A = this chain, B = another copy of it.
Amino acid sequence: MGILQVKHAGMEPAPENGTQAHPQGGYRMFSRIVDWITSDRMQLINITDRINEIVRKSGIRDGLVHLQSLHTTTAVFINEWQDALLHDVRSFLDEVVCRENAWRHNDPRYSDCERKNADSHLRGMLMGQSLCLQVRNSTVLLGTWQSIILAEFDGPRSRSMSILVSGV
């Protein structure tokens, strides 16, 4: 269904027959908790620069960076950072999970939650609260148009994300 090409990436390939340890001496990890104070009920925040700053600080050159928001009514995902498109993202999420449905989580007969935020929970669940990306040359590997976006679905709040960089 498509012509296939293989390019060799910059990282030195492992020997095909060996179990040689990485020449740089082994696996390392580095972690940080980062907080954001949001200002709107639904808000999109471009966190790409912040994540890259932490990756650089980690001293890890190649590996993975794992992002995990610690809140059910948030999400983290990738998209282009363009005003018109961000408006569409909010419209889409408003439409795919309707705030006004007769959700039980918002109904005092079934739930003691006073935030009436069933829609926020469903949006967070749908979009996901964790994201794993590759690190190459001490930078998050991203395509030209890819930005890392933290989505607030029940703000304004203070929100924490745990970032774990691992690799060599």
Contact = CB atoms under 8 A, between A and B. Distances in A.
Contacts of A131: 130
Nearest to A64: B66
Interface in A8-24: 8-9, 11, 13-22, 24
Nearest to A87: B104
Contacts of A43: 1-2
A103 B22 CA distance: 48
Contacts of A118: 85, 88
B79 A125 contact: yes
Contacts of A122: 88-89, 92
A31 interface: yes
A26 B30 contact: no
